[in-house]
Amino acid sequence: MITNDILYIGVNDRDIDLFEGQYPVPDGIAYNSYVIMDEKIAVMDTVDKRKQEDYLANLEHALGGRCPDYLVVSHVEPDHASSVRAFLDKYPSAQLVGNVKTFQMLSQYFDLNLASALTVKEGDTLCLGRHQLHFLMTPMVHWPEVMFTYDSTDKVLFSADAFGKFGALDADQDWDCEARRYYFNIVGKFGMPVQTVLKKAAALDIRIICPLHGPILKENLSHYLEKYNIWSSYEPETEGVFIAYASLHGNTAQAARKLALILEEKGCPGVTVTDLARDDMSEALEDAFRYGKIVFAASSYNGGVMPFMEDFLHHLKGKNFQKRTVAFIENGSWAPSAKKTMTDILSQMNNITILDSSVTIRGAMKEDTIKELEALADSLL
């Protein structure tokens, strides 16, 4: 129970290995749905069809023999809307509620009779009796049809995918860590639309946030709003240095780890090192956005750069990476080319400052290399 009238009817998915077919979720994922019990009953979204049977059982139990009047669809992505057809088959009298884009996109997944659907727009309201629902259009957070719903009675914001996180609800996780990874990998490209939404949210008296993934947020809401403001404005969150490396024969990896030790010895407040060939890409992307200073360390390869590094840089570009200070460690025994390739890719991004004191290795790390790493550390600090 979230409030006296708002019940949780979502489900945990502990069987899934990759969310959206690409992000590892060792602690699963929660598909959240809610029901508002009033003179008229509104169900807020469905769940992924993977857990459809459990969801419908939760809904039936919550209804206690009543039938829902409305199904509000805030987001058409299949992890939330692929049970819409099953919902309507069970409760054919329920009226779908969404915006114009909602129904255009929903029709791409199901053949539905939308003659009785209720189309809403920015500022529209729906009275359930005691509860008054207000609809806010929030396109590109992170799909074009997304909308939030605000219940002005209990001061609850149903926030679609915003403020969500990876992990089942019974997972013992730090919210910041898995919400950050979720945000930058899924919503990260769309910072400006998120900033617009935060301005809308600032005008509301919000006591509870109900996202479509992750826990219901009831306390210290300013913390979550502050994190979203930092993330969506692309400002660094943590002081320190992130080192991402792609090493061909281990020499570049050795230099990257040596730089980390030097930084720590010099008092750097935080240093994180990632092996792009072995560590999870979504974690690496999260850390790149978390820190304000990044070192890209890579071996030259086929006149360019190691494919793992090239792939990582293209991921960053796709997520709107910006406002960072970067430096390079490149390695090339006979024709170093990694730095140029990395610079060319980063030049396509906004507000990237490249330090002059980058390091070039020709083979193995030597004493002169260590001196250059010392100088690079000083520049970073």
The sign of the dihedral angle between the CA atoms of 277, 282, 284, 289 is: positive
DSSP letter at 17? S
What's the CATH code, domain 241-380? Answer: 3.40.50.360
Cβ count near 59 (within 10 Å): 22
87 pLDDT exceeds 90?
Answer: yes
pLDDT band at 172 (very low <50, low <70, confident <90, very high): confident
**68: buried, middle or exposed (CB in 10 Å: 19+, 13-18, 0-12)?**
buried
Contact call for residues 296 and 330 (beta carbons, < 8 A): no
Is the pTM value of this prediction over 0.85?
A: yes
pLDDT per residue as tens digits for the range 327-363: 999 999 999 999 999 999 999 999 999 999 999 999 9
Q: Which amino acid does the sequence have at 43?
A: V
| Rg of the Cα atoms in the chain | 24
C-alpha dihedral sign at 189, 192, 194, 195: positive
Query: 190 and 162 in contact (C-beta within 8 Å)?
Result: no
Q: What is the CATH number of domain 6-232?
A: 3.60.15.10
Short-list 12, 30, 44, CA closest to 154: 44
Amino acid at 235: E
The whole-number pLDDT of residue 286 equals: 97
Pairing of strands 304-305, 42-44: unpaired
What is the pLDDT at residue 339?
Answer: 96
- Residue 370 dihedral angles phi and psi, to the nearest 5°: -60, -40
Residues facing residue 309 across a β-bridge: none
Q: How far apart are CA 206 and CA 203, in angstroms?
A: 9
- Cα–Cα distance measured from residue 240 to residue 242, given in angstroms and rounded to the nearest whole number: 7
- pLDDT (tens digit per residue) in 118-151: 999 999 999 999 999 999 999 999 999 999 999 9
Q: What is the pLDDT of residues 311-336, one digit of tens each?
A: 999 999 999 999 999 999 999 999 99
Measure the CA–CA gap between 191 and 193, rounded to whole angstroms: 6
pLDDT for res 94: 97
Percent of the chain with pLDDT over 70: 100
Distance between CA atoms of residues 349 and 322, nearest Å = 6
Range(s) within the chain of domains with CATH label 3.60.15.10: 6-232
Beta-bridge partners for 288: none
For CATH 3.40.50.360, the residue range(s) in the chain are 241-380
> Where would I find the beta strands (DSSP E) of 201-285?
208-210, 238-246, 271-275
